[in-house]
Chains A and B, each alone.
Chain A
Amino acid sequence: KAGVTQTPRYLIKTRGQQVTLSCSPISGHRSVSWYQQTPGQGLQFLFEYFSETQRNKGNFPGRFSGRQFSNSRSEMNVSTLELGDSALYLCASSFNIGAGANVLTFGAGSRLTVL
């Protein structure tokens, strides 16, 4: 069974550009979450989607946005990139069968470097 697939794995952008990251969840999983991982701030929650609806959002500026498609695939976009956006962006999916009981399966991440 295929895991959570994130593309691209690595990318380099310059300040002011925008970037779109993609996440394909495990087949049958309807919930997708995104996290930002940096050495200084650790793992921080970005968004959570379920059945194409954003269910929860972390404390990030409006430059960070996301969406989920009818096939549960998700994308996140960061506009007007800043140096501080350099990070590993992790996507996770789950069946979402009940609060607190779900196991999130994480992808390998997309490593973004902003120059």
Chain B
Amino acid sequence: GDSVTQMEGPVTLSEEAFLTINCTYTATGYPSLFWYVQYPGEGLQLLLKATKADDKGSNKGFEATYRKETTSFHLEKGSVQVSDSAVYFCALTNQGGSEKLVFGKGTKLTVNP
């Protein structure tokens, strides 16, 4: 079945550092790929998405490019802020007519001032 693997955390960075969170997937066909973020005590929020190969999703300084040749969707941000501290989930959907999301295990990011 479909699966998502993302780098184990936790990740601790200083403010203004560069962030990369690796995400790879296994899926048949052409899945859509997502990054969701969860702040403490809250539900999930969509951060960005890409629906086809070579698409780049971007939002709030975060970017990720859908790489079909490497089955990857790595999340990057050039300069993190304390407010970016959260848990980040990579996910895919791959069922026509269904919105079922398959999630990675999540990566906890802590940004120190």
In the complex, the answer to whether B46 meets A100 with C-beta atoms within 8 Å is no
Count, chain B residues at interface, CB 8 A:
27
In the complex, the answer to whether B105 meets A102 with C-beta atoms within 8 Å is no
Q: Mark B64-77, 1 if CB is under 8 A from A, else 0.
A: 00000000000000
The A interface, classified by DSSP as helix, strand, loop or mixed, is strand
**Smallest distance from the beta carbon of A87 to chain B beta carbons, Å?**
13
In the complex, the answer to whether B101 meets A45 with C-beta atoms within 8 Å is yes
In the complex, the answer to whether A99 meets B98 with C-beta atoms within 8 Å is yes
Count, chain A residues at interface, CB 8 A:
27
In the complex, the answer to whether B103 meets A106 with C-beta atoms within 8 Å is no
- Listed in ascending order, the chain A residues whose CB lies under 8 Å from chain B are 4, 31, 33, 35, 42-45, 48, 55-56, 58, 90, 92, 94, 96, 99-109
- Listed in ascending order, the chain B residues whose CB lies under 8 Å from chain A are 31-32, 36, 41-46, 49, 51, 89, 91, 93-106
